[in-house]
Amino acid sequence: MIKTLRNTALLAAGALMLVACSGGPAPRVVDEPSARLEGPVVDQRWNLLLVGTSERLDMPTRPYFVIDGEGRVSGSDGCNQLTGQATLGDNQRIAFTELATTRRACPRAEDAARVTGMLENAYRYLIDHDRLVFFGPDQRVLGGFRRVD
């Protein structure tokens, strides 16, 4: 319970920081396919921690994703293999595109679709130590992931 409250407090604090700093024009997303992606999100495995600010999912396998230096995304939505592309921009801007899954039968297909939807709707991110939080275009927290070392 205390850990969940701490996680929620961290996500809420991150959301407030992002809202406070979000003024001005929309950031530009890097479009150059030949540019190598770099930064703390890249070449790390990120395991799903929370959907929204507090909901944990009980999935057949733990959802995760990895973005490599070429912008390729690989991972799992908890049921299916996940592939796609990611671009990073100024002000912690992120965009996932061309996401596809293997679409195997799964008892938690709705939750798997929620994980994929979270990535598709990610607009910005915030990293706090080993936590990665995604925000939608409306600044709401979509969910959080934890870096696997």
pLDDT digits 0-9 by tens, 80-138 = 999 999 999 999 999 999 999 988 888 899 999 999 999 999 999 999 999 999 999 99
pLDDT grade, residue 24 (50/70/90)?
Answer: very low
Q: What is the pLDDT of residue 22?
A: 45
- The larger pLDDT score, comparing residue 19 to residue 37, is at 37
- pLDDT above 50 (res 18): no
- pLDDT above 80 (res 28): no
Q: What is the pLDDT of residue 1?
A: 46
Q: Which domains does the chain have, with CATH numbers?
A: 2-24+32-148 (2.40.128.270)
Give the whole-angstrom CA distance, residue 119 versus residue 94. 9
Q: What are phi and psi of 75, to 5 degrees?
A: 160, -150
pLDDT grade, residue 32 (50/70/90)?
Answer: very low
Those residues whose C-beta lies under 8 Å from the C-beta of residue 89, and which sit 6 or more positions away, are: 27, 28, 29, 30, 95
Chain centre to alpha carbon of residue 115: 9
Average pLDDT, the chain: 83
State the amino acid at position 11 in one-letter form: L
Give the whole-angstrom CA distance, residue 72 versus residue 98. 10
